[in-house]
Amino acid sequence: MEQIKKELADVFIYALDMAVLLDLDTEQIIKDKLEHVNKKFPAKLMRKNAKEESDSGTDPQYLKIKEEYRKKEK
């Protein structure tokens, strides 16, 4: 676990150094990414027990939204 922590710290340091050098707003970058992820994977459609309720393990409504999203991305 200690090695993982060290590697993760290296990644964070590298990313923050790059953001500073490029004069990027890291807070805004993270907010934008989270907004994108929330649109792509709506939490209200994700269920903890989806595997138990459907054989596929995924809510059919979620799959429909995901398919529509991917079509828009192309």
pLDDT tens profile 20-38: 999 999 999 999 999 998 8
Residue ranges making up the domain that contains 33: 1-40
- The number of folded domains in the chain is 2
Residues 25, 30, 34: CA angle, nearest 5 degrees: 150
d(CA 65, CA 42): 9
pLDDT, mean of residues 45-53: 54
Q: How far apart are CA 17 and CA 20, in angstroms?
A: 5
Residue 49 pLDDT more than 50?
Answer: no
Q: Are residues 28 and 54 in the same domain?
A: no
Please tell me the predicted confidence (pLDDT) of residue 27.
Answer: 95
Look-up of token digits 């200690």? 2
Q: Do 32 and 54 share a domain, yes or no?
A: no
Q: Which residue has the tokens 């903890």?
A: 48
Q: Cα angle at 11 between 5 and 17, to 5 degrees?
A: 130
For the ranges 12-16, 32-36, 61-65, which has the lowest average pLDDT?
61-65
Do 68 and 33 sit in the same domain of this protein? no
User: Is 51 found in the same domain as 29?
Assistant: no
Query: Token digits for 58?
Result: 């995924």
pLDDT-derived band at 53, boundaries 50, 70, 90? low
**Same-domain pairing of 3 and 28:** yes
